[in-house]
Structure 1
């Protein structure tokens, strides 16, 4: 628990509901802030600290010690607060659905991360997956290209374990996976991966990945373009249960 936040609420007579009203977020959001790993968006941290009459650092300690790269922190905070996440991947499975062995193979196989840093990045990626295991997880919808299922990341054993884990994840009501079959020709997904996050107050944020670092986008025109790409890739994909059947079939080929 975030004892500093809990003490500040007690001292000021505020509740998570009243703090939410002052800050302008959903009460469920402020309730999640009581968990130590749930760090609010920077502007929400500043607003909450002002309402409670505390310095930001008194409630949320310096986050520079966290393991994720500095450029990734803004997106990770958006991801934590999202009520809906829509992800498209053409080359690998989304990080939130990766097994430990698969994630280690992805991170270690790029050549962009020093060997000594792979485990640090791996720990960060696996910790992020907790958002899908909370009592009130976001609705997570992923679209992946069929090639992702057939690329031998980490070898047959790793792929078999990964695809079985993916099928198991699809059994949860808040996780939906759709596969764009290989028979589909050119479509918007060929332009690269992206994620769209929707917050409790209906704000949209986007994330684009590249060879160097990710980019968080919020410009309305950029969001509109990503939403258009999402409609295209989702329209080309199989239904959720058709996709689960395909994933199950491909898993059997990794013998």
Structure 2
């Protein structure tokens, strides 16, 4: 009998996945070390995930599913936990984002979700008024899971424009911000990721009211995701897409080239050491 994917309100979704992984591992007669050897993940990572202390990737769920002959149950549980954590209005975007060959994004306030570390994501999500701890953990797991698109054989091009203020906003505390900015520098090492910063001193106001993402999908019309205070808006209406492209082009024209943007990120990181 599998663990209930819709547990009571005080059970964290990471705990649910970890408990099911542990149950199936023991049923198979394997130790953590043996499962680690089969899946090529570390024993420590398996331990963290079984205790609900780390977010598993889809690749992790798939390898464990194969190793434990779970017939897709672990992957299915992983999908239930991650997709079910997203608001209904965001689920249309979850169909678009993985299919995109190129994503263009602008963020005036926070690091984009696709580049957030777990602790930063948790701090951002906890800012939602009235959100419960179990909802927070589900949303964190779902957000980190989206980053799996960079692990696929042909990851999308990801072009990011950030306001410099994002680097200076103390989300999650000094340690979290330091590690988050280190993550940005690491991300830029990928030839598929481009990140540019708009210096605060320029006083740019274009796009200051909200972030957005443009998804380019082969054989389909471009689609945009537009943020708002209460919910996002996903559309491929030509007028909306054209308006967002116009803002994005204006923002990129003001942004520093990548090598100077990296210098700005490293300088900002010094604030958090």
User: Which TM-score bucket, shorter chain as reference?
Assistant: 0.7 to 0.9
State the number of aligned residues: 196
Contact 1:97–1:129 (8 Å) recurs in 2? yes
Pair 112,199 (structure 1): closer, same or farther in 2 beyond 3 Å: farther
Alpha carbons of structure 1 residues 134 and 64: separation in structure 2 relative to 1, 3 Å: closer
SS at match of 2:249: helix
Counterpart among 161, 165, 168 of residue 147 in structure 1: 165
Q: Is the 8 A contact 1:187 1:233 kept in 2?
A: no
Is 1:157 the counterpart of 2:205 in the alignment?
Answer: no
What stretches of structure 2 of length at least 5 have no aligned partner? 1-58, 62-75
1:84 corresponding residue in structure 2 = 102
Match of 1:251 in 2: 269
Aligned pair partner of 2:221 in 187, 200, 203: 203
Q: Does the Cα contact within 8 Å between 1:141 and 1:176 map onto a contact in 2?
A: yes
CA distance in 2, matches of 1:74, 1:229: 23
Q: 2:122 aligns with which of 104, 123, 129?
A: 104
- Residue 203 of structure 1 and its aligned partner are, at CA, apart by 2.1
Aligned alpha-carbon RMSD (Å): 1.9
TM-superposed CA distance for 1:148, in Å, is 0.2
Residues 197 and 206 of structure 1 are in contact (CA less than 8 Å); yes or no, is this contact kept in structure 2? yes
Unmatched 5+ stretches in structure 1: 1-34, 38-59
The Cα of 1:64 is off from its aligned counterpart by: 7.4
What secondary structure is seen at the aligned counterpart in 2 of 1:183?
A: helix
CA deviation profile, 1:186-234 (whole Å, cap 9, x unmatched): 3312131100000012520000111221110111111110000000111
Deviations 1:72-119 (A, max 9, x none): 111011001000000100010100000011001111123253232100
1:120-173: per-residue Cα shift (whole Å, max 9, x none)? 000000000001221100000011100000000001100000000110000000
- 1:72 paired with 2:90, answer yes
Kept after mapping to 1: 8 A contact 2:216/2:223: yes
2:101–2:156: 8 Å Cα contact kept in structure 1?
Answer: yes
**Distance in 2 (alpha carbons) for counterparts of 1:119 and 1:64:** 14
Aligned 1:170-189 pairs, distance under 5 A: 170-189=188-207
Alignment of 1:1-255 (within 5 A): 66-67=83-84, 68-111=86-129, 113-201=131-219, 203-255=221-273
Query: Is the CA contact (8 Å cut-off) linking 2:158 and 2:192 kept in structure 1?
Result: yes
Residue 28 of structure 1 is matched in structure 2 by none
